[in-house]
Amino acid sequence: MDIQTNNIISFEYDFEESFNFDDMNNKLFCTFTTEEELENTIQSIKDKYSIVFNKIFVLFSKSQNEYMCTYNVDEANVSTFLENTILVHRKKESNTLYTINALNELIKELNDGELDTSFRVNWNDYRNCILLTKGAELKRINTKLHEIVEF
């Protein structure tokens, strides 16, 4: 669930504080928002970034009552991130989004606590979800496509 204080919404996931902006060639971003702020969030994304393919995929998590806007950005115009935005990776075959921290935690969970970067994850077990961390805890958030915003 999200926490709202002074009209600033904060989602309780582990957002990385530092990013390597030198390696930002066509990266996939994910911005979390609420239903009330969805249109404002989409407009902020369009105003801030040059979006590759001119598409924003809006996902919805019923269990979390959260919306996630995913979009590819052109590296040339990235110097800061919008609030509640993370860099994610995607497995196309299962439509799974994940952070590197979450992938590491998943591997440890599946591999008796050992992080082995050669460990093979069965991505079909994580179809249509986003894998995140919250502290040391791995969070799986099931998602469904809400809409595709084309512009």
Read off the pLDDT of residues 66-102 as tens digits, 9 standing for 90 and up. Answer: 999 999 998 766 778 899 999 999 999 999 999 999 9
Summarised one tens digit per residue, pLDDT across range 35-71 is 999 999 999 999 999 999 999 999 999 999 999 999 9
CA 70/CA 75 separation, integer angstroms: 15
Identify the three-state secondary structure at position 1.
coil
**5 confidence band (pLDDT: 50, 70, 90):** very low
**CA quadruple 9, 87, 45, 6: dihedral, nearest 10:** 10
Higher local confidence (pLDDT), 146 or 18: 146
> In terms of Cα–Cα distance, which of 61, 58, 63, 2 is closest to 30?
58
